[in-house]
Structure 1
Amino acid sequence: MEKVAIVNVKSFGREFPEFLDELKEKVGYVEKFIFSQDASQQELIDKLKDFHYIILGNDPTFKAEFFESCPNLKLIARHGLGFNNVDLEAAKKHNVYVTKEENIIEQDAVAEHAVSLLNVVAKNINIANQMVHQGEWGVRRERLMGYQIRGKVTGVIGYGNIGRRFGEIMKYGYKNRILAYDPYLPSEKAEEYGIELVTLEELMAKSDFISMHCNLTDENKKMINKDTLKKVKKGAILINCARGALVDDEAVLEAVESRDLFGYGADVCSQEPIHPDNPLLNHDHIVLTPHVSVYNLTCTENMNRKVMEDIYLIMEGKKPNVIVNGL
C-alpha cells in the first residue's frame, strides 16, 4: 500500500469528495495536513517521511534536507502553477518528480478574477457595499466616483497564458489598447496577439490599468516599488493576481494614499495569510482576496484531477505530466 499526503490544499476533495474516495481505492492511504508557512524541515520530515506522493499547495517550502530524509517519496505534485516552494535540484537529485498544473487549467479562472478585482476597485464596489449595509444609501455618494473601463489603456506585466487571456478580455470586451511588458515574448507573437510590447517604464507611464501575471524570480522581487511607482500614470489602478512578493506593500500603500494610484486589487500578499497589522487592510481603495482566484468548480475539478493523474501515471511506470525539475 502506498501513501498520499495532501499538504496545505484545503480545497482538494472538499467540493468533490469522490476524488478522495478514488485516491484511497486506487492508491491506498490518504491523509490531509496543514502546516504553517514557515514549517521547519524537521517537522515536515517527521510527518511526511513515509509518504510516496505529496499533493502540495502554495506552502510550506521543501528543501534539500527534506528530500535527503524521505527515500520513499516519488512525486511532489503542485496543486497550482508556482513551484518556488520546492528545491527542484534537490528533488531531481533524489529522483523525485516535481510537477505543476497545466497552464490552461487556471487560465480563465485567474484572468476572470483579475478583471473582477479591476471592476471592484474602479467602481468602488466595496465601498458601495459597505454603504448599503451601514444604512448610508444616500450619504456622501461622492465616495463612489470611479472609472469607466471601456476605451482605456491596459498594461499587462507577463504575457503568458493567464496574462494573454486577461489581455483578450480587456481588448475585446472593454475595447482597451493593450501594452505588454514581457522580456520572453517574441515580437512576432505580440503582433499576432494585436498588442504592443513596451518597456516596464513605458507601461507604467501610459497604462490606466496595470495587471501583473508574471512568475516570481529572484530578479523581479518587489519589481513594483517606489522607483517604478514614480513613473506610474496618475490615477492608475494596479492589480496583482501573480505573487505578493512582486510588489513592495509599503510603496503601494504610499502610492494609493497620495492618489498616484487610484487603487490596488490583489489576490496575493507578500506574507500569506496576511498579517493583521498590515496597513494594506485599512484603506478603502485597496481590495484584497485570500489567494482564491482558482476557486470555481470548473477549475477546482480540473486541478484535482490533474494531480491525481500524475500519481496514477507513476504507478503505471510512466512519467507524470508537466514536470518542472528536468527528470
Structure 2
Amino acid sequence: MNNAETLDRRALRKAAPVVGITEPGYADHSVEAGILKSIGAEVRLLRWEGKRDKLLDMLPELDVIMIRDLPLLDREAIAALPAGAGIVRYGVGVDNIDLDAARQRGIPVANVPDYGADVEVADHAAALTLALVRRVVSRARQVDNLKWNIAQQEPIYRIAGSTLGLVGFGKIARAYLARMRAFGVDDVLVYDPYVSDDYLAQYHARPASFAEICGKAQIISLHAPATAETRHLVNADTLALMNKRTCLINTSRGGLVDTDALAAALKDDKIFGAALDVLEQEPIGENCPLRGLPNVILTDHTGWYSEASVRSIQEKAALAACEILTTGVPTHWVNRW
C-alpha cells in the first residue's frame, strides 16, 4: 500500500472529516478545535471510560484519532479505523501504537517531539536528582513526624564531583546535563550506541557501556526510548553492579526498569535510592512494590508538564492532524512507508 493510494482514499472522504480526541485528555480542547475548524473538521471527545469495546465502536467513524499514553492502539484497534485514517500521538513516545499494523493499513502515525519537553523533562529530572541526593522528601516526612537532627544517621553525599551516567544522549539528556553541570558535575559517562565519540567529546562526555556506568556513576539518569533493546536495561544483574551511593533517575520510559528487581535492591539498601517519574504499569497500582519505600521518590509521569508545554503540544498535535487530513504527509511521520 503506497502513499498515493492513501491520498486517493483521503480525497473520497466526506466534506467534514472527524477527529476524535480520547479522554482523559487535557482540561480544555479549544486549542485543537480552533485549529481544526480552519479545515472544516469536526472534533469529538471520545469518552470511552476505559472500556475497550466502547472505544472500538467509536473508531470506524474517525478520520484521525489523537491519543496520549492511553488507549493502546494495537492491531485490533487499528483494524477498526478506516483504511487511510491517521493517528496523532500527543508527545514523543509511540510504544502504545502498533506501527506496523498502521503502516499495513496506510494509516500514518505522527508524534509531537518538539513541544519543548527538553525544558520541562530536564527540569524535572534535575529536581528529582536534587530531591533524592539531598534526601529532601524523606527529611520532610521525618520533620513532619517531629524527628530532628537526623544528620549522619542517613548520610548525604555531595553532588559536585560526582560521576554522572547518562543512558541516551538526545535533546532531553543534553538539557539535563547542562543543569547538572551547574551543580559541579564534571565526569560524565554516556551509554548511547547511536552517538559518536566525537559528538560526545563536544559535551566533554565519554562513551561507556551500561555496565561501566553502573559500576562507576553515583548518579544514573535514563533518557532512552522504550524498545526491545532497552527493556529491563535496569535489572537484577545491572543493579548488582551498583553500590550504596548509586542514585537512579528515570524520566524516560518505565519499561527500562525491572520494577521487582529495583524494589528488591531498594529494600536491601543495595543502592542509595531511586527517583522515578515513569513506571512499568501506569497508573500506579495498589500492589506496586515501590510504594512506601523510604528511599524512593515517585511522581505521576508529570515531567513533561507545564502550562506552556500543554498549549504547545495541543497546537502541534492539531497541526499534525491537519497535515494528515490535507496532504497526508505529517511533518513528524514515525511509520513511513
2:181 corresponds, among 171, 174, 195, to 171
- Separation in 2 of the partners of 1:294 and 1:21? 22
* Cα separation, 2, equivalents of 1:48 and 1:224: 37
Of 103, 118, 122, 1:111 maps to 122
Alignment correspondent of 1:199 = 209
CA apart distance, 1:175: 3.0
Once the two structures are TM-superposed, the CA of residue 275 in structure 1 deviates from its matched residue by 1.1
Closer, same or farther in 2 for the Cα pair 1:266/1:313, shift >3 Å?
A: same
The one of 98, 101, 113 aligned to 1:102: 113
Give the stretch that moved more between structures: 136-145 or 22-31: 136-145
Deviations 1:11-31 (A, max 9, x none): 2xx2x6541541563322321
1:129 aligns with 2:143: no
Query: Does the 8 Å contact 1:49/1:72 carry over to 2?
Result: no
Unaligned runs of 5+ in 1: none
Q: Alignment partner of 1:238: what SS?
A: strand
Deviation digits for residues 33-80 of structure 1 (CA, Å, limit 9, x no counterpart): 3554xx64x543212221111111112221222233321662211111
Aligned equivalent of 1:47: 58
Residue type of the alignment partner of 1:294: W
After superposition, give the CA deviation of every residue in 1:126-146 in whole Å (9 maximum; x if it has no partner): 123223444x15264556642
Instruction: State the one-letter code of the partner of 1:293.
Output: G
How far residue 156 of structure 1 moved from its aligned partner, in angstroms, is 0.4
Structure 2 partner of 1:2: 17
State which of 27, 37, 47 in structure 2 corresponds to 1:25: 37
Aligned to 1:187: 197
Matched, 1:268 2:282: no
Query: Hey, what's the Cα distance between the residues in 1 that align with 2:299 and 2:199?
Result: 32
What's 1:247 paired with? 257
Alpha-carbon distance in structure 1 between the residues aligned to 2:115 and 2:318? 17
Deviation at 1:223, TM superposition (A): 1.2
2:266 and 2:247 map into 1 onto residues whose CA distance is 9
Q: Distance between the aligned counterparts of 2:144 and 2:311, measured in 1?
A: 34
TM-score (norm. length: structure 1): 0.90
Q: Secondary structure at the match of 1:298?
A: helix
Work out which of the residue numbers 102, 120, 124 in structure 2 matches 1:91: 102
Retained in 1: the 8 A contact 2:36–2:318? no
Aligned to 1:62: 73
1:98 shift after superposition: 0.3
Map 1:196-235; keep pairs closer than 5 Å.
196-235=206-245
Structure 2: gaps (5+ residues): 1-15
Q: Return closer, same or farther for 1:249/1:315 CA change in 2, 3 Å cut-off.
A: closer
Q: Relative to structure 1, is the Cα distance of residues 162 and 189 closer, same or farther in structure 2, using a 3 angstrom cutoff?
A: same
Identity level (%): 25
CA contact (8 A) 2:19 2:66 kept: yes
Correspondence for 1:286 among 290, 296, 303: 296
Deviations, residues 251-274 of structure 1 (Å, cap 9, x unaligned): 112222222211100011111111
1:236 paired to 2:246:
yes
| TM-score after normalising by structure 2 | 0.87
1:157 aligns with 2:171: no
Q: Distance in 1 between matches of 2:227 and 2:315?
A: 28
Return the alpha-carbon distance in structure 1 between the equivalents of residues 80 and 263 of structure 2: 43
Further displaced range: 24-33 or 85-94: 24-33
Within 2, Cα distance between the matches of 1:254 and 1:304?
39
Give 1:317 deviation, angstroms: 2.5
Deviation at 1:294, TM superposition (A): 1.0
Closer/same/farther in 2, CA of residues 168 and 218 from structure 1, 3 Å limit: same
Deviation beyond 6 Å, 4+ runs, structure 1: none
Compared CA separation, residues 260 and 193, structure 1 to 2 (3 A): same
State the distance in 2 between where 1:234 and 1:310 align: 46
CA distance in structure 1 between the aligned counterparts of 2:150 and 2:160, rounded to whole angstroms: 26
Check conservation: 1:23, 1:30, Cα contact below 8 A.
no
For 2:153 and 2:34, the matched residues in 1 are separated by: 52
Whether contact under 8 Å (2:168, 2:191) holds in the other structure is: yes
